[in-house]
Structure 1
Amino acid sequence: MSQQNDPVVVLPPATQITRNWVERVLVGLKFCAPSNPSLIQDRVHYRVMDDDLDDAMTSLIEECEHLDQNSHIENTLMIFPDNMQHFYSFKLVADMARELMAEQGFSDQYQLELLHPHYRFRDSSAKNPINYIKRSPYPTLHLVRKSCLEYALLNFPEGSEDGGKKNRMLKRGEQGIAQMQCLAGEAWEAA
């Protein structure tokens, strides 16, 4: 009996680095509890984007339509590896994307989150370890089904044991920053 081997899929570097970050940081540290089953069941779609803003907005709508047509996919990560490095400029792009989603009728089904290497929560210092929850290797727009978010809120409450561990680690100040930088670096180097 011959054994058939599945072909090896080679991912673009930006996709592999982002996937490693999702697995090791978001899922590994349980920052994003609903992602764990999604990753195990391959329910995340990764798309590497070019630098053109008009193309990005067109691609955003294509990805919303792709989610509409593929109910097994719960998340789409639109990765911008070569541009959009300025956090506040990328935040404006995310705002434009949300407006476009609303105009096109997708904002009821999908939520758009912003991930960025220099992410900074409002009213937090740049060195606050909590920022690392949304500090991705590359500027990234994260489309997620709202039904998945609702499930996560019901099944993974903020006060749960995992949430408590996460908050304790992130409140360790410099030690928390060092740990997050180490994990992020490992994820990026593993590609």
Structure 2
Amino acid sequence: MSDIAKSDVIQQVQQWLEDVVIGLNLCPFAAKPNRNKQIKIHVSDTDTEADLLEDIYQQITTLDNTPSDVLDTTLIVTPSLFSEFENYNQFLDLVDALLHQLGKEGTYQVASFHPNYCFYGTHPDDAENLTNRSPFPIFHLIREASVEKVLKHYPDPEGIPERNIACVEGLSKAQVKELFPFLFKSLSS
């Protein structure tokens, strides 16, 4: 992957983060670390699952060795892997196993995003899937301590998923096309 391609990936993920995740307030905890430049977007140019696991391990190590006020969270973007959501979803089990093997359960959690994200029991076209749709497959490493700190001051965190679904269900077709242009690339090509 060339540097230009990597910068394009970073730009697209940053745009999605700002317009969708923060702009729609899908994650009410993302604005402050984004504003403070504490979110790392790491583009993994690996093309094998084994190399990606090593890359994720390295990003966990970086988080371990960096204070949260400098680096709070990391988005690991995999533009060369997991075009199929099912394969991505199965790989999440390996990421969870890695966290377990490293003794990092309770220290980090992984949030998952994919262009074709589909929650269990939903139809691929259901609007609620938009809450986890991103321009590329992403593994989001989140510090548990940061989440716990913010949740102490956030009213009704249990209601976030329901509010997010209502938000994306309320988007017009034009808004969906504007906010999620990556979902329409293949249709216009």
Task: Give your verdict on TM over 0.5.
Answer: yes
Structure 1 residues 40, 54: closer, same or farther in 2, change over 3 A?
Answer: same
After superposition, where does 1:173-184 map in structure 2 within 5 Å? 175-176=171-172, 178-184=174-180
Match of 1:147 in 2: 145
Match of 2:131 in 1: 133
Q: Is residue 34 of structure 2 the alignment partner of residue 39 of structure 1?
A: yes
Q: What secondary structure does 2:180 align onto?
A: helix
Match of 1:109 in 2: 107
Match of 2:10 in 1: 15
- Matched letter for residue 136 of structure 1: S
CA distance in 1, matches of 2:75, 2:12: 12
Deviations 1:69-94 (A, max 9, x none): 11121111111112211001001111
Greater relative contact order (CA < 8 Å, ≥ 6 in sequence): 1
Whose radius of gyration is greater, 1 or 2?
1
Q: What secondary structure does 2:75 align onto?
A: strand
Deviation (angstroms), 1:137: 0.2
Deviation (angstroms), 1:176: 4.7
- Matched letter for residue 36 of structure 2: Q
Q: What secondary structure does 1:64 align onto?
A: helix
Structure 1 residues 97, 166: closer, same or farther in 2, change over 3 A?
Answer: closer
Count of residue correspondences: 177
After superposition, where does 1:1-191 map in structure 2 within 5 Å? 12-49=7-44, 50-71=46-67, 72-158=70-156, 166-172=164-170, 175-176=171-172, 178-185=174-181
User: Aligned-residue CA RMSD in angstroms?
Assistant: 2.7
Deviations 1:4-50 (A, max 9, x none): xxxxxx86111111011001100011001111001000011111112
Structure 1 residues 60, 127: closer, same or farther in 2, change over 3 A?
Answer: same
CA distance in 2, matches of 1:12, 1:22: 15
Extract unaligned runs of 5+ from structure 1.
Answer: 1-9
Deviation (angstroms), 1:117: 0.2
Extract unaligned runs of 5+ from structure 2.
Answer: none
CA distance in 2, matches of 1:177, 1:65: 41
**Contact 1:30 1:162 (8 Å CA) reproduced:** no
CA distance in 2, matches of 1:93, 1:163: 23
